[in-house]
Chains A and B, each alone.
Chain A
Amino acid sequence: MRKTSTGIIAGAVGVVFLSVLVAAQSAPQKNAPRSPWKYYPEDARANEGPGGPAPVRDMSGTWAGESSGAGVKRLVPPDRMPAFTPLGKQLFDRNKAEGTGVLIAQSNDPHVRYCDPFGFPRNMNDQIRSMTIATVSNRTFVMLRFMNIWREIWMDGRTLPTNFAGRGADVHDPTYNGYSVGRWTDDYTFVAETTGMAAETWATEGGLPHSVDARVTERFNRSSKNDLSLTMTMDDPKLYSKPLSLGQVNFRWIPSQTFFDFSCVPSSVQQYLKEVADPASSPGAAR
């Protein structure tokens, strides 16, 4: 028993030591110059705790995501192998996502290779850096730092379009971000539904496909002043035999509300692939 107690104490000391080490690494340098135009992730890290109750029916503001350096965690990743239909499996097998067993030279991820737009819903579950939400009288705008994306979620009571094919004048063209409507289901939960997304985009970094008729439900929940979570599901009967989870991402309020752009630049990614990534992952690649 005594040895066990010693072990527990030693372990606890280890945790404290590591916490101090991490805090020291993350802490801003004293007297370091600061600009109101820069984003300092330590500000978001220092903004500990809930910060007070969530305001009623309000998500407006700028939020740090898991890839912002603010230490925000993802709790639920998207499904990796959902229940495919035969067509869904066929389309999934075409997509060569970078990762286990697939190096960048072998990937056909249109974003990794060419900076093609993620499109929705991938832009809400991959490269989650930071996000600004703004609401006007009849719409909510979601603006994403990565790739400088804005999405428009209508709140005027309209219904989603359903016709994305055919020759008639009433056909709606698919778009990268699709068509979205949203509503508050309670004082702290905003639910958006989206369809009509361009089918050539991937739903996740792992290469899950979606059809133009896929319907994605986003559930934003603001549990406190500082905490916002987003849970996503997708229903796409052409490609999946049952609805699948696109995971949950979390956001933290950024005290300075600083938000700036970040884009994948096609010419730069071509240079990167040619000069480093492809030679590093394919022996035959020219350099």
Chain B
Amino acid sequence: MKPKVLMMAVLIAAFAAIDRPSFAHHGGTAFDITTPVVLKNAVITEFLWINPHPLIKADYKDDKGNVQQWTMELGGLVGAQLIGWTRTSLQPGDVVTLYVWKAKTGALVGRFNKVDFPDGTTMRDSQTGADDGGRSDSGQRN
């Protein structure tokens, strides 16, 4: 076996050994996990701390000045708790930048990726919070 092939095989095996919760549950395949939609200066209107998924609602003004009303889901509530989210992590009136994997249907709904706060901190989704849509264990602001 060529060394590069061997090294790749070992690395792939190592990645496979990492516990990665399934994103297939609750409509994961309905979202376009390629490039997140970026909603700059979005205004949080509601943060619903509910099962099976917390919901973020936000108003976003597009380039033409039209206000879009977005709703997006986080990963499971417990998974969010385990990486530092609480029911007050987002509050109505917060002005933030939201990254969201948009629904393939084109509706203004999606799967949350991450949020950038004005102070430069970031919180991520437990399952799709990495920049490539993979798992992130860092829900803490960092």
* Interface hits, B104-133 → A, CB 8 Å: 104-110
B26 adjacent to A112 (CB under 8 Å): yes
Selected from B15, B19, B105, the residue in CB contact (under 8 A) with A283 is B105
Q: Is B11 an interface residue (CB 8 A)?
A: yes
Q: Is A15 an interface residue (CB 8 A)?
A: yes
A263 CB contacts on chain B under 8 angstroms = 51
Count, chain B residues at interface, CB 8 A: 46
A265 CB contacts on chain B under 8 angstroms = 50-51
Binding site for B on A (CB under 8 A): 3-4, 6-8, 10-12, 14-15, 18-19, 22, 25-26, 29, 41, 67, 69, 71, 73, 98-99, 103-105, 112, 129, 262-265, 268-269, 271-272, 275-277, 279-283, 285, 287
Contact bitstring B1-13, A, C-beta under 8 A = 1, else 0: 1111111011101
CA–CA, A15 and B8, complex, Å: 11
Interface of B is mostly: mixed
A10 adjacent to B7 (CB under 8 Å): yes
A22 adjacent to B18 (CB under 8 Å): yes
Selected from B3, B78, B103, the residue in CB contact (under 8 A) with A6 is B3
B108 CB contacts on chain A under 8 angstroms = 287
B3 adjacent to A3 (CB under 8 Å): yes
Given contacts A7-B4, A265-B51, 17 further A-B contacts (CB under 8 A): A3-B3, A4-B2, A4-B3, A7-B5, A73-B19, A99-B24, A103-B29, A112-B26, A263-B51, A264-B51, A271-B55, A272-B50, A276-B110, A277-B30, A279-B103, A281-B30, A287-B108
